[in-house]
Amino acid sequence: MSDPRRYLVALAGTEDSALPQRIDRVLGTGDSAVEITLFHVVETGPRELAAYHPAVRRGHWPLPNKDVIEHRLEDADDEEAAALLAVWQERFEAALPGARIAGLVAQGRPEQEIIASAGRLNVDAVILSARPRTGPTEPGPRSVGHVARFVLDHSPVPVLLVRHSR
């Protein structure tokens, strides 16, 4: 028996629900050993914008406790990531019954975490979904978002970019 093909599927939460079926059609995963790691990155950068310092205000309002707020944000991010991966795991298991499906969450900048995890997990390819289009898009570098562009430019393995169905 040959080694299974390994794929890292980066999920942001905006993907088309038909993603597992589309991947199966392109890769033909139904007849061979396949390992799929569903990967979600909790982007922590926006937290740096949170206001923990007193602003101009009236009255003696207590300052927010930074540690409490950070803990609540982390809990909310963990719950969101777990829920997202659970939904996608069900979808992938239904569409690819013979595949081994695992979930993985990282924190940081999505584009960098995807590249790092692709190398660390020794996957055969990275699969990601293009950002949903909101209007006509001309071909070229601007036809995908910044995360997809970075992954396409820096991935150590092949990248399958899946567009939303229309």
For the chain, give every domain's residue range: 5-49+63-162
Please say if the pLDDT value at position 130 is more than 90.
Answer: no
* pLDDT tens, residue by residue, 20-67: 998 888 887 665 689 999 999 998 776 665 555 555 555 566 666 778
Q: Model pTM greater than 0.75? A: yes
Share of the chain above pLDDT 70, in %: 77
3-class SS of residue 125: strand
Q: Where are the alpha helices (DSSP H) in 105-154?
A: 110-120, 146-154
- At residue 135 the predicted structure's pLDDT band, cuts being 50, 70 and 90, is low
HSE-up of residue 73 (Cα within 13 Å, Cβ side): 16
CATH number of the 5-49+63-162 domain: 3.40.50.620
